Amino acid sequence: MDDMDGDRTTADISDRVAHVFGEATPHPRHTVWPAREDQYLQKGVTEQDVDRWVQSACLLCSNGCGADIAVKDGVMVGIRGRAGDTVNHGRLGPKGLYGSTPWAASPDRLRRPLVRENGRLVETDWATAMGRVVEESKRLLAEKGPLSHGFYTSGQLFLEEYYTLAVIGKAGLGTPHMDGNTRLCTATSAAAFKESFGADGQPGSYTDIEHCDAIFLFGHNMPETQTVLWTRILDRTGGDNPPRVVCVDPRHTAVADEADRTGGVHLAPRVGTNLALMNGLTRELLENEWVDLHWVDAHTIGLDDLRKTVEPYTPDHVAEICGTSPDDLRKAARIFGESSAVLSTVLQGFYQSHQATAASVAVHNLHLLRGMIGRPGAGVLQMNGQPTAQNNRECGADGDLPGFRNWENPAHVQQLADAWNVDVMTIPHWAPPTHAMQIMSYAETGSIGFLWISATNPAVSMPESARIRKLLAGDQCFVVVQDLFLTETAELADVVLPAAGWGEKTGCFTNVNRVVHLSEQAVEPPGEARSDLDIFLMYADAMGFTDQEDQPLIGWRTPEEAFDAWTAITAGRPVDYTGLTYDKLRGPSGIPWPVNDEHPYGTDRLYTDGVFPTDTETCETFGHDLQTGGVVTEQEHRALAPSGRAFLKGAPYTPAHEAPSEDFPLLFTTGRTVFQFHTRTKTGRSRSLNRAAADAWVEMSVVDAAALGVAEGDWVRVESPRGAIEVRARIGRVMQGAVFAPFHYGHWDPDDLADAGHRSANELTMTVWDPVSKQPYFKTAACRVTALRPGDGAAPAPTTTASAPARGRLPATTGGAPTSSHVLARAPHYELDPSQRSD
Ligand code: SF4
């Protein structure tokens, strides 16, 4: 491993591995979050050495913290938070600080294209590599038509790249087989918005944290997934008049600790039972008349059906299903029912679990019942995992139509056909877009014979990874991979295209809170690597895609031109970018959409007037039955006459697909650590982060470990009906009966670790998905654990996070010694833009 980010000592408070959240800046309710400018420069670099700072935002989670990149001698050497940015007020977390730049100069970057010759990948030039891609693409188009083509992209490209890819797929080729790894992380967020409010789009605002008096986190380990956002909450809970925190999570995370500390409650439902818990909370609101009936009458439909659906879920019944205390459920419901402004956040504990969309929609139901949406402090944040997942959903590279358009609405499809000047029948709209799991099944059979994977690593991140690796390696499908490194997926490709990464190209991306940032190119990419936009344009040129006048289908050459084309296509849609330009985004802060003549400075929160995009002509979907996924037809939707009202929707709880059995008596669930991002393509190349979480582990409860004779650090074998891993055990704070494993680890760095081939958590997970969002389940599978042999010390799990040991003390996880210019905390100087004020 290359030591790109130097050494740091363990004792220093500025070690943001040991002290993840940094210096606290507590403040009272209804006051502005103080600024704190965090900065990190690589070893040997001082501020005076920095040649220039280049505007950007952090690309290592969906929070999208505003940041500047430090450049010295043409190399990215550090990062600092932008104090004027509405998202982070200058803060950066450990991933952003230590993981943003070291990967870029890593010696194992892909510098030239690769093609497979006699079973081996060999270097070649662009003409040869793209020539093979185009030759195979044209051959299959001629023989089988556009359905032979599939595209599987990412949550980490830029808006301009997604939009260009969407136009290629939908108007150039005409294939419905497009999706992204956003299907694994954020599809349920989009689906839940569509079902409740008619269209995707985050209703709430981060500024709701400043105004709420209760915060509910549903399946959201925020301290490890959106670290800076959790810092924002800690600064409220540490100040005067703090909100109470309610944690819904089977693990005892830092959120659970904060719930205890603030007088809230920690509800730990059995893995796979979220919906029963949510039905119980909903029933409590109704039973206790904690409902704003006047608001509900005016702004929602579906109350009677919802009441019937949740009626059986008494606190005692919920306790039987979920293993939670009836009194805790009552207490949580009372907090929701009696607070003046509740903010809810939702993430993978709900999205990647059984009955994902129904459980996430149930969070909306709680807010709608209380009329708590669209006003300061009262909002929902259905979170994303990845930094640009939102753009994939907006632009249509995930299969949806660009601009939150409804594929079943002929007028919406015609708008795109007119904009692109193509025959409307070219644009696939005869069936729902193909979701990622189905794309892989088609690739497995060869029905899709051409699969282009960009900026993602399904060989590690998709469920049942042995199956994924096999289908990618097979001869039945020609696989193109475009990435920064020779990932576990790229190793299996027929052609590998070297891509430029963050800081090496220009483009925009939108965080989970609708805030759009411009990220400017800071340095040149290595070797012959090219931006993803340039690669897509190269393919479009070579394929000769044209419009109805035989003009090039894609009329843009630069990121800014692509952005302008995108803003035009959003006119009149909820996701309205028409008031945004690159120049406007060069100001002190990112700007939340919609941005248009009515809202020239952006929009802090949606639905302030209680009017939702649910009209039949406007909505992005006509909706689904949340239990079965059965579609609501246009006629049925029209008959409901939603007229701008939100939907209250429910579903009964059903047991998860794979329950524990005699052979597999434990529940297997996967998740994240604060120190790694996805499959570690970037963060695994930061020495500080890698020291903090270098290798895989599993967490077991004290009781289960004792029963199996497993001690801290022992090697164990964890098996499901689909595969096995051999890793070390942390005796942690996971609930009894459950086994937790981080999903980040594949085998790209086996030179460092002899066991690396047997540590991928997705060897064990299942090929099964939510009926509405099609998001696969990573949180519910059965497993067994066998003790193998003693380890040589503690497990490689962090000790400063939810992975901390349950008992006893271990040395604190640290990243190392301070560099010449480590984390700085500067005086607050943040001023709210008038458009961002909530009070
Ligand atoms: S919270 Fe997310 S966006 Fe912000 S610095 Fe950390 S990883 Fe980057």
Give the pLDDT score at 674: 86
Cα 311 to Cα 732: distance, rounded to the nearest angstrom: 36
Is 485 strand, coil or helix? strand
Residue 747 CA to ligand 1 centre (angstroms): 25
Residue with tokens 């830029």: 158
583 contacts: CB under 8 Å, gap ≥ 6: none
Give the pLDDT score at 677: 87
DSSP H/E element including 535: helix 532-543
Give the pLDDT score at 756: 53
Cα 733 to Cα 561: distance, rounded to the nearest angstrom: 51
Residue 745 burial (C-beta neighbours within 10 Å; 0-12, 13-18, 19+): buried
The DSSP code for 110 is -
Residue of 17, 227, 347, 383 with the most ligand 1 atoms within 8 Å of its CB, for mutation: 227
Q: What is the pLDDT of residues 323-377, one digit of tens each?
A: 999 999 999 999 999 999 999 999 999 999 999 999 999 999 999 999 999 999 9
Give the pLDDT score at 832: 34
Give the pLDDT score at 757: 59
Residue 567 CA to ligand 1 centre (angstroms): 26
Is ligand 1 within 6 A of the CB of residue 211? no
DSSP H/E element including 728: strand 723-731
Q: Are 823 and 40 in contact (CB under 8 A)?
A: yes
Residue of 40, 95, 101, 689 with the most ligand 1 atoms within 8 Å of its CB, for mutation: 95
Cα 326 to Cα 817: distance, rounded to the nearest angstrom: 48
Is ligand 1 within 6 A of the CB of residue 440? no
Give the pLDDT score at 399: 87
123 contacts: CB under 8 Å, gap ≥ 6: 112, 113, 114
Q: Are 813 and 5 in contact (CB under 8 A)?
A: no
Give the pLDDT score at 121: 98
Give the pLDDT score at 833: 36
Is ligand 1 within 6 A of the CB of residue 92? yes
Residue 677 CA to ligand 1 centre (angstroms): 10
The DSSP code for 81 is E
Q: Are 501 and 522 in contact (CB under 8 A)?
A: no
Residue of 91, 226, 345 with the most ligand 1 atoms within 8 Å of its CB, for mutation: 226
> Whole-prediction pTM value?
0.94
DSSP H/E element including 785: strand 781-789
Phi, psi of 155 (to 5 degrees): -115, 25
Instruction: For residue 618, give the amino acid letter.
Output: T
Q: Whose CA is nearest to atom 8 of ligand 1?
A: 96
Q: Are 156 and 59 in contact (CB under 8 A)?
A: yes
Is ligand 1 within 6 A of the CB of residue 291? no
Residue with tokens 């919609």: 594
Q: Whose CA is nearest to atom 4 of ligand 1?
A: 65
347 contacts: CB under 8 Å, gap ≥ 6: 218, 219, 220, 221, 222, 225, 383, 385
Give Cα 177 to chain centroid, integer Å: 21
Is ligand 1 within 6 A of the CB of residue 156? no
Give the pLDDT score at 657: 85
Give the pLDDT score at 26: 97
Q: Whose CA is nearest to atom 2 of ligand 1?
A: 61
Phi-psi region of 60 (alpha: psi -120 to 50; beta: other; left: phi over 0): alpha
Half-sphere exposure of 535 (CA within 13 A, CB side): 31
Cα 493 to Cα 499: distance, rounded to the nearest angstrom: 15
Residue of 21, 37, 39, 65 with the most ligand 1 atoms within 8 Å of its CB, for mutation: 65
Pick the atom of ligand 1 nearest to 67's CA. Answer: 5
Pick the atom of ligand 1 nearest to 92's CA. Answer: 5
The β-bridge partners of 785 are 718
Pick the atom of ligand 1 nearest to 88's CA. Answer: 4
Do the strands 715-720 and 697-700 form a parallel or antiparallel pair, or are they unpaired? unpaired
* DSSP string of 732-749, one letter each residue: -SBPTTEEEEES---SS-
Pick the atom of ligand 1 nearest to 228's CA. Answer: 1
Cα 830 to Cα 301: distance, rounded to the nearest angstrom: 41
Q: Are 641 and 635 in contact (CB under 8 A)?
A: no
Residue 96 CA to ligand 1 centre (angstroms): 5
The stretches in the chain having pLDDT less than 70 are 1-14, 750-757, 808-809, 814-839
